């Protein structure tokens, strides 16, 4: 018998013999070994739970949950099979449409029985509940499924990540959250969630698509030439990095053309800014912006217009040094642009 297999059998025997299961808990910044009584792995003969399970399998979630709750009320907190009863209540409520109640019973199962073999199953069911809410499943109010529960769904996905950090399901929950925000046009939240995913799971095979979604979400936050250009600057940098790192994706998505359109938007914004200074008798600032536009985006229509406007300034102004921010030069605000 191989040593690893022999060790596994020995450990299993020790757990059964001592009636305890060894687990690890993160306390502060240290992992602590904890021995817990094993109340969930041994087979139990519980006719009431068998009845509850049969009811649920038959599709009668309400009766199944009620039967399992009656069992819980009769038993003590440390009774063998309690994790199974909590799972049956959760599954019964799930079938009966009481998804929030189901979620909280699953929470109780995992809080009280972290060593239970039903733990991962409970976590998966919580994910299914949250995913259903994000897909439009309604909460029940006065026997009618009318209440939107997308906020609850997002909170549930966050709790799943907190409960099982680093797990495949936590990764899936974070990505589902980001995709929900993106689909719901909450682009600022989507960009933050995609960034969090990239930081937490840098080796995921989904990173190229996540980076693409983040760039699109960042770009979507730009509201137009009159507004703050920060999202446009960030999006352009992300798109250029994507084009360099993943040329196939860049070709499929037309990222080179998209960057070109972003540059055209930058040119329009700089031209608008320069034109504002020209019309408000700030010739030095206007000349600075026109020249910056010509040097940075020489092939745009705005650059050609800038060349013509520079010809209207006196030689003395054209020979003067560019203004410095410390001397009072600042880009115009949105209110300034709208006023002129």
298-335 pLDDT, tens digit per residue, is 989 999 999 999 999 998 888 877 655 433 334 444 44
Q: Which residues pair with 33 in a beta bridge?
A: 24
Q: How far apart are CA 34 and CA 24, in angstroms?
A: 6
Over range 127-137, report the average pLDDT. 92
Residue 227 resides in a domain: no
Residue 206 resides in a domain: no
Q: What is the DSSP letter of 324?
A: -
Average pLDDT, the chain: 82
Please give the model's pTM, rounded to 2 decimal places. Answer: 0.73
pLDDT at 78: 87
Residue 85 resides in a domain: yes
Domain holding 90, by residue range, is 46-164
Strand, coil or helix: 22:
strand
Handedness of CA 8, 10, 14, 17 (dihedral sign): positive
> Of 136 and 51, which is predicted with more confidence?
51
Over range 266-290, report the average pLDDT. 92
Band of the pLDDT at 146, cuts 50, 70, 90?
low
Burial of 137 (0-12, 13-18, 19+ CB in 10 A): middle
Residue 8 pLDDT > 70: no
How much of the chain, in percent, has pLDDT values that exceed 90?
A: 65
Strands 30-37 and 20-27: antiparallel
Domain boundary among the residues 123, 138, 164 is at 164
Tally of domains in the chain: 2
Residue 130 resides in a domain: yes
Residue 212 resides in a domain: no
Residue 282 pLDDT > 70: yes
Q: Which CATH number goes with the domain that contains 111?
A: 1.25.40.10
Q: How far apart are CA 332 and CA 77, in angstroms?
A: 67
Residue 159 resides in a domain: yes
Handedness of CA 296, 302, 307, 309 (dihedral sign): negative
Domain boundary among the residues 149, 164, 179 is at 164
> Of 95 and 34, which is predicted with more confidence?
95
Residue 301 resides in a domain: yes
Over range 185-211, report the average pLDDT. 96
Cα distances (angstroms) measured from residue 103 to each of 87, 107, 236, 270, 340: 10, 6, 42, 53, 56
Domain boundary among the residues 136, 164, 192 is at 164
Residue 221 resides in a domain: no
Q: How far apart are CA 301 and CA 36, in angstroms?
A: 73
- Cβ neighbours, 10 Å, residue 205: 7
Q: How far apart are CA 232 and CA 266, in angstroms?
A: 8
Q: How far apart are CA 287 and CA 168, in angstroms?
A: 56
Cα distances (angstroms) measured from residue 24 to each of 5, 21, 36, 47, 322: 22, 10, 10, 33, 64
């Amino acid at each position: 018998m191989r040593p690893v297999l022999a060790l596994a059998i020995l450990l299993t025997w020790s757990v059964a013999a001592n009636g305890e299961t060894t687990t690890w808990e993160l306390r502060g910044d240290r992992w602590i070994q904890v021995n817990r009584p094993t109340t969930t792995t041994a087979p139990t003969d519980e006719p009431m739970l068998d009845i509850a399970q049969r009811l649920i399998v038959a599709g009668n979630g309400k009766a199944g949950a009620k039967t399992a709750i009656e069992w819980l009320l009769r038993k003590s907190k440390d009774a063998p099979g309690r994790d199974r009863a909590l799972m049956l209540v959760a599954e019964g409520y799930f079938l009966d449409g009481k998804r929030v109640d189901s979620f909280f019973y699953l929470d109780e199962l995992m809080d009280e029985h972290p060593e239970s073999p039903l733990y991962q199953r409970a976590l998966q069911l919580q994910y299914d509940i949250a995913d259903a809410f994000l897909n439009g499943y309604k909460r029940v109010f006065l026997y009618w499924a009318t209440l939107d529960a997308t906020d609850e769904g997002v909170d549930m996905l966050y709790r799943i990540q907190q409960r099982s950090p680093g797990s495949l399901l936590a990764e899936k929950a974070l990505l589902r959250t980001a995709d929900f925000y993106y689909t719901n046009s909450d682009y600022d939240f989507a960009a933050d969630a995609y960034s969090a995913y990239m930081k937490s799971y840098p080796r995921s095979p989904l990173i190229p698509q996540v980076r693409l979604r983040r760039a699109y979400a960042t770009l979507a936050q730009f509201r137009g030439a009159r507004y703050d250009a920060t999202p446009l600057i960030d999006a352009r940098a992300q798109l250029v990095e994507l084009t360099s790192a993943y040329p196939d994706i860049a070709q499929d998505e037309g990222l080179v053309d998209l960057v070109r359109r972003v540059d055209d938007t930058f040119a329009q914004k700089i031209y608008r800014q320069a034109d504002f200074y020209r019309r408000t008798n700030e010739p030095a600032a206007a000349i600075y912006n026109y020249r910056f536009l010509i040097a940075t985006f020489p092939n745009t229509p705005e650059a050609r217009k800038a060349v013509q406007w520079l010809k209207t300034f006196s030689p003395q102004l054209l020979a003067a040094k560019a203004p410095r921010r410390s001397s009072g030069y600042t880009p115009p605000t949105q209110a300034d642009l709208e006023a002129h």
